[in-house]
């Protein structure tokens, strides 16, 4: 591990920076909170695992040069960016159709399976090219030219994902404390479906319309 991790002062700075970045709410946190409030702690934790693996995929992609491809190819960035945005909107439309199709007195519709929740979290995170660009910009600040850049970047990326997953679990646990009350509020459950749909569609619009390629 000595060859792939920076010396302790620099590693400490990396961990602190990772923690500060991870606790800052972003689209992934909104997604996790939405899932938790809609389906409870188990769904939220399944989403955390999916998001973490999607982020890890982006970290590995950055380490092997995927982010470099995005940086020089507007087409590659645009394709992945809009694929991710389209998938988020698709999730929102599905939630909206569910809310409109189910009468209020039949609000006990079976929730999405844990497999579906995991898959959605994974794709939401993986299909965000800005995450790969972020890793490409952030990780090199803590690597050394004396050792393998690929191995160092992949290891640091995995550490960052672990830190982010830890803070995501905290968000899910906090949300789960009020999820039960929200689901027991009768009409609020139906409105919760609309809120879920709005959150997904809003995240899709944010992904499609947000800043330039160089901004994580």
Over residues 29-64, the pLDDT tens digits come to 888 988 898 888 999 999 999 999 999 999 998 888
Domain that holds residue 84: 8-209
The verdict on residue 70 lying in a domain is yes
* Residue 154 clears pLDDT 80, i.e. is over it: yes
The verdict on residue 58 lying in a domain is yes
Interval 99-103 mean pLDDT: 55
Interval 77-89 mean pLDDT: 78
The verdict on residue 41 lying in a domain is yes
Which residue did the predictor score with more confidence, 107 or 133?
Answer: 133
- d(CA 136, CA 144) in angstroms, rounded, equals 14
pLDDT of residue 112: 80
Position 72 confidence tier, pLDDT thresholds 50, 70, 90: confident
Please state the domain count of the chain: 1
The verdict on residue 36 lying in a domain is yes
Position 216 confidence tier, pLDDT thresholds 50, 70, 90: very low
The verdict on residue 19 lying in a domain is yes
pLDDT of residue 100: 60
The verdict on residue 215 lying in a domain is no
């Amino acid at each position: 591990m000595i060859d792939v991790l920076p010396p302790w002062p620099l590693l400490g700075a990396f961990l602190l920076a990772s923690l500060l970045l991870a606790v800052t709410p972003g689209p992934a946190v909104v997604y996790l909170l939405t899932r938790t409030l809609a389906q409870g702690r188990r769904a939220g934790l399944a989403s955390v695992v999916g998001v973490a693996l999607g982020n890890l995929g982006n970290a590995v992609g950055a380490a092997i040069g995927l982010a470099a491809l995005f940086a020089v190819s507007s087409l590659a960035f645009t394709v992945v960016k809009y694929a991710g945005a389209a998938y988020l909107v698709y999730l929102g439309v599905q939630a909206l159709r569910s809310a409109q199709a189910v009468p209020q007195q039949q609000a006990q519709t079976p929730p999405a399976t844990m497999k579906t929740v995991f898959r959605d979290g994974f794709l939401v995170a993986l299909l965000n090219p800005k995450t790969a660009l972020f890793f490409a910009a952030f990780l090199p600040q803590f690597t050394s030219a004396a050792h393998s850049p690929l191995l160092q970047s992949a290891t640091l990326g995995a550490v960052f994902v672990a830190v982010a997953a830890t803070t995501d679990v905290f968000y899910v646990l906090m949300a789960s404390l009020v999820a039960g009350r929200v689901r027991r509020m009768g009409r609020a459950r139906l409105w919760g479906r609309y809120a879920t749909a709005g959150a997904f569609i809003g995240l899709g619009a944010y992904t499609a319309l947000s800043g330039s390629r160089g901004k994580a």
